[in-house]
Amino acid sequence: MADVEIGIGKSGRRAYGFDDIAIVPSRRTRDPEDVSLAWEIDAYRFELPLMASPMDGVMSPDTVVALGKLGGLGVLDLEGVWTRYDDPEPLLLEISELPAERAVDRMREIYAEPIKADLLTARVKQIRDSGVTVAASLTPQRTVQFAQTVIDAGVDLFVIQGTVVSAEHVSTRSEPLNLKRFIAELDVPVIVGGCATYQSALHLMRTGAAGILVGVGPGQANTTRAILGLGVPMATSIADAAGARRDYLDESGGRYVHVIADGGMKTGGDVAKAIAMGADAVMMGSGLAKAAEAPGRGWHWGHASHHPVLPRGTRVRTEPVGTLEEILVGPAKTDDGATNIFGGLRRAMAMTGYSSIKEFQKVEVMVAPAMQTEGKDLQRAQGLGTFSR
């Protein structure tokens, strides 16, 4: 792909977000009931290609279990309030009621409470006792400290997640986490991310991870792009990572690493585009924070919202739109794609003639930025204002 000249001294690739592309209908259609959305990673099978983002406003032990019973994979944040407090419900209620000018300072105070290993064990056991697959998340900085506790507690899938996770971290102050050695020593599959480019995805695949999270800064509650200037539009990020997966498959002699799109998806159409670009599954946060059962009580905040030095997230209002079941599999209660999200994916696959996630990754797409303008013109004509992006 040719670079675009930004100025005499700098050029760069043109990258695309979900709004810039469209899925192309094919000559064949299919009955939606004949479409399978099932996704498998390692020994685990899920009826929905969904991981829930490990954020306190999205996932509690109870919602992890509820999501698992609906066919998805909930991921609990092991650095959140559930492993710092015996009963975090009053604190979650307080966060939901904080005035904007107090939110950052008070959330810093709440998250300054130390993580307790016994609570970590108790939360994992609670999820395991329900019978669903157990997935839990730590940042690279705390992975070595708590990993053995997590494994001993009985986690099935281990998630190592940060704003940007690299296979080669350089530090003059501390011994960095050696991902390749660490993953090789674990007895459970590891999902690691985020990353955003072909090279970073390929290097993470070489660590032995079962899956990689793709996306930096596109989420609704994430302000990384504004504060650090980092970010790659999601459609291009996913396509680059899918290209790395293809090349790593040849390089490794057939080892398949799953690509999980993380961030920037609010509707069934966004999820369909993520799969079309090559994702095996998606990780969602803000869309699930709109569930009536969500622990955030109508609010959503990112992992770095309470960073002690440089917060890179914001507390976002997310008005409930339905139950978790209605948001995932319907029936839809809204006409904007925010409910029955995976019904939307199922119908997109049916309308293009594909019966499985792997097949749908081959669907034709077009670059269609003009559709944004057309949509704005239509809304203006209807007196509905303009899109908010």
CATH label of the domain that carries residue 233: 3.20.20.70
pLDDT > 70 in the chain, percent = 85
Q: Is residue 84 part of a domain?
A: yes
Work out the average pLDDT over 319-327.
Answer: 95
Q: Is residue 210 part of a domain?
A: yes
- Higher pLDDT: 210 or 376? It is 210
What pLDDT is attached to residue 370?
A: 60
| Spatial CA neighbour of 205 closest among 263, 154, 251, 274 | 251
User: Which tens digit of pLDDT belongs to each residue from 193-211?
Assistant: 889 999 999 999 999 999 9
- Higher pLDDT: 92 or 223? It is 92
Give the domain range for residue 116.
50-268+281-314
What pLDDT is attached to residue 364?
A: 97
What pLDDT is attached to residue 171?
A: 47
Confidence check: pLDDT of 169 > 90: no
Q: Is residue 34 part of a domain?
A: no
C-alpha dist (Å) from residue 1 to 12, 236, 319, 359: 10, 12, 41, 25
Q: Is residue 32 part of a domain?
A: no
User: Which tens digit of pLDDT belongs to each residue from 250-265?
Assistant: 999 999 999 999 988 9
| Spatial CA neighbour of 46 closest among 209, 161, 156, 152 | 156
The pTM of this model reads 0.89
Confidence check: pLDDT of 78 > 50: yes
Mean pLDDT of all residues belonging to the chain:
88
CB neighbour class for 72 (10 Å; exposed up to 12, middle 13-18, buried from 19) = buried
What pLDDT is attached to residue 301?
A: 87
Q: Is residue 42 part of a domain?
A: no
Please tell me the distance from the alpha carbon of residue 68 to that of residue 78, in angstroms, as a whole number. Answer: 18
Give the residue carrying structure tokens 């302000």.
223
What pLDDT is attached to residue 263?
A: 85
Q: Is residue 290 part of a domain?
A: yes
23: phi then psi, degrees, rounded to nearest 5: -85, 135
What pLDDT is attached to residue 385?
A: 38
What pLDDT is attached to residue 222?
A: 58
Q: Is residue 245 part of a domain?
A: yes
90: phi then psi, degrees, rounded to nearest 5: -60, -35
User: Which tens digit of pLDDT belongs to each residue from 121-145?
Assistant: 999 999 999 999 999 999 988 998 9
User: Which tens digit of pLDDT belongs to each residue from 298-320?
Assistant: 998 876 666 666 655 578 889 89
Q: Is residue 64 part of a domain?
A: yes
Confidence check: pLDDT of 223 > 70: no
What pLDDT is attached to residue 313?
A: 59
For the chain, the domain total comes to 1
